Amino acid sequence: YRTGDRARWLEDGNLEFVGRMDEQVKIRGYRIEPGEIEAALSRQAGVRQCAVLARRDQRGDQRLVAYVGAGELPGPAMSDLRAGLQAQLPEYMVPAAFVVLERLPLTANGKVDRRALPEPESAQTEEAWVAPRTATEEIVAGIWAEVLERERVGAEDNFFDLGGHSLLVTRVISRLRKAFGVELAVRTLFEAPTVAALAQQVDSAGPGQKAPPLERVSREQDLPLSFAQQRLWFLDQLEPGGATYNLPFGARFRGLLDLPALAGSLTEIVRRHEVLRTSFPAQDGQPSQRIAPPRPLAIPLVDLSAAPDPETVAQRLAEEEARRSFDLSSGPLLRATVVRLGARDHILLLTIHHIVSDGESARILIHDFTVLYRACVNGRTSSLPDLPVQYADFAVWQRQFMQGTALEAQLDYWRRQLHGLPPLKLPLDRPRPAVMSARGGTILFSFTGEQLAQLRVLCRREGVTLFMSLLAAFQAVLFRWTGQPDIVVGSPRDNRDRLELEGAAGFFINTLPLRARFSAGLTSRELLRQTRETVLAAFAHDQAPFEKIVEEVARKRSLGSSPLLQVWFLVQNAGAAGGEGTADLEITPFHSDTPAAKLDLALILTAHSQGISASLTYAADLFEPETMNKLAGQIQLFVAALLQNPDIELDMPVSPPRAGAETSAMHETFVF
């Protein structure tokens, strides 16, 4: 092995070569090592040789192409090759095309001659692909191709096998609404997951209840807050000057950073997204949105290049910046600082209040910054189209739509769903204080790539998503820990369900309370089915503002406990590791260690090419780190046991997995 080789340990103690660190390619913003894909491909039946290359398609876009040498035996089915990789790798690493040859061309020294491999168009690259047969199927397939970022989609292709998940389902629904004028529930795509089946649902669907059009409104009027903004404004009135709802972001720039281009790009982003220059003054106790005119963004430069330990000082500055409070009544609610560590090493610290942003907004802002910065340094104008509507337009639209019978129909479901819900009593290490601080701690753990692949197989077999399966596992562990057979956790739902909102920044998150009931003899497989129905029903009623749900069903509020929910759960897919940058600049995330506990517990899981990373954030006022380490270990233990036996009875103790299976670093058995 040479310096720069990547390898993994096998169970037999040998090393498996998986590629070179310097052989990465970038596809749709993701840095990908073809060697890792080749290693996964070589383990499939019928594959004697393989190679993965980045090729440009007819539009000039980069795509991955896999070449398989099958020898003299019949080649493996394309569908089997694709399904095998989908079970092991994230969707963005699955090649767009497969070419099966009798043997791959070799160089004089016996290595694959990559230059001699044929273009995909000159060989059979697809098998059993069924072209759309009707106009509806053709439009549906085009929508899927756009949302899933695929070159083409066949009539019999399965949305979830192609990498679809709940956020992408929402985007499909919004596009179908625009294309056909129909209102489809999220459940429809789960029950009709192929293009042909969904096209039939579209053809038979009625127009449904139409919401008012989402259009720009006059700024010469009082602009209301959205329901989500109203809740955060109310919390700020209860505890003014806090930093619990600060959203800190950081990016590290290694290389030649153009500071004027950076400042110009951020200024243009703030001009482009009105919500980033919005404040919330109150008159007679009622807040409204006030949008400031565009102006250059002030970005202080802190030079640490002469400091003896600039990395440590930069971390301290990032933590201090993340804890600085905002004044919602006057703004601005976005701050930016550039920290210089060296001539070719800078950090951008960006802090935004949650009332004007959310997680999806961060992805949007990163995309916009990448486009604008590259245009600035190359002397070009921005190619970003103007936004059709802004967040203030959404807030007005939401207030108009979510009232009267529309609101009542949504709330009626939640009254029934949450009726008789008992308070969740977590086993605390300390008495709950009368007023909770935001002090938090974080426990990090993970699941292996093999476990993620097994989970995906389980999900396909049971007709659930990765989110549903991990939610069921988490609630099962909470059931064992608390001894309560009735568990509710909150999960965020991105309410950008209108096509016009997909590129808009703002606070679109709505919280859904997801309830699980446990009974004697309930198995994990039965819990998965229950969770599927719970999640799909919640998605069908996700327009009801969480604050309205709290008013309807929650107990008395207090500063010592969040009403209705004490536990938070989120599963997300890893995005690109960093911005595109330029030829002279590499952009990567910069993280500061500033955990803030908004609730008692929050479990956030991120699926990526190496497996699943998990972050368990807890209220330091209530729990000791040792207890949270044990809880994290139990989550890992339960998932490992679930993968061995999906029919575990949930009221029975879980034994450690068989020897050799991946488990947590905790070796003790901790049975609740």
Q: Which residues pair with 517 in a beta bridge?
A: 486
Radius of gyration of the CA atoms of the chain, in A: 26
| Tally of CB atoms within 10 A around 358 | 22
Q: Name the 3-class secondary structure at 474.
A: helix
User: What pLDDT is recorded for position 664?
Assistant: 34
User: What pLDDT is recorded for position 621?
Assistant: 93
* C-alpha span between 349 and 359 (Å, rounded): 16
| Residues above pLDDT 70, as percent of the chain | 87
Q: Which structure tokens are listed for 602?
A: 């929050």
User: What pLDDT is recorded for position 242?
Assistant: 85
In a 10 Å sphere around its CB, with 0-12 CB exposed, 13-18 middle and 19+ buried, how is residue 80 labelled? middle
371-407 pLDDT tens trace: 999 999 988 888 898 999 999 999 999 999 888 998 9
pLDDT band at 129 (very low <50, low <70, confident <90, very high): low
How far apart, in Å, are the Cα atoms of 68 and each of 48, 94, 143?
Answer: 7, 14, 30
How far apart, in Å, are the Cα atoms of 224 and each of 164, 230, 236, 327?
Answer: 35, 9, 17, 18
* Least confidently predicted of 278-282, 467-471, 573-577, 647-651: 573-577
With residue 618 as reference, give the H or E element that holds it.
strand 611-619
Tell which wins on pLDDT, 300 or 54.
300
User: What pLDDT is recorded for position 20?
Assistant: 52
Q: Which residues pair with 68 in a beta bridge?
A: 50, 100
Note if the pTM is more than 0.75: yes
* C-alpha span between 12 and 291 (Å, rounded): 63
608-658 pLDDT tens trace: 878 899 999 999 999 999 999 999 999 999 999 999 999 988 876 544 444
User: Which residue intervals of 378-510 are DSSP H helices?
Assistant: 391-401, 404-417, 449-462, 466-482
In a 10 Å sphere around its CB, with 0-12 CB exposed, 13-18 middle and 19+ buried, how is residue 260 labelled? exposed
With residue 552 as reference, give the H or E element that holds it.
helix 546-553
pLDDT band at 31 (very low <50, low <70, confident <90, very high): confident
* C-alpha span between 476 and 485 (Å, rounded): 9
pLDDT band at 264 (very low <50, low <70, confident <90, very high): very high
**Pairing relationship of beta strands 278-279 and 290-291 according to DSSP bridges:** antiparallel
User: What pLDDT is recorded for position 414?
Assistant: 96
413-431 pLDDT tens trace: 999 999 999 989 999 999 9
Q: Which structure tokens are listed for 377?
A: 């340094």
* C-alpha span between 492 and 311 (Å, rounded): 34
Range from 174-183, 335-344, 663-672 that averages highest in pLDDT: 335-344
* C-alpha span between 498 and 284 (Å, rounded): 33
Q: Which residues of 172-207 are buried (b: 16+ CB within 10 A; e: fewer)?
A: bbbbbbeebebbbbbbbbbebbbbbbbbbbbeebee
Work out the average pLDDT over 183-189: 89
Is the model's pLDDT at 23 over the cut of 80?
no
Work out the average pLDDT over 287-294: 96
User: What pLDDT is recorded for position 620?
Assistant: 93
Instruction: Give the residue carrying structure tokens 């029919």.
Output: 647
Is the model's pLDDT at 663 over the cut of 50?
no
Q: Name the 3-class secondary structure at 270.
A: helix
With residue 601 as reference, give the H or E element that holds it.
strand 601-608
Work out the average pLDDT over 502-524: 94
- Tell me the average pLDDT of the chain: 85
593-609 pLDDT tens trace: 767 788 999 999 998 87
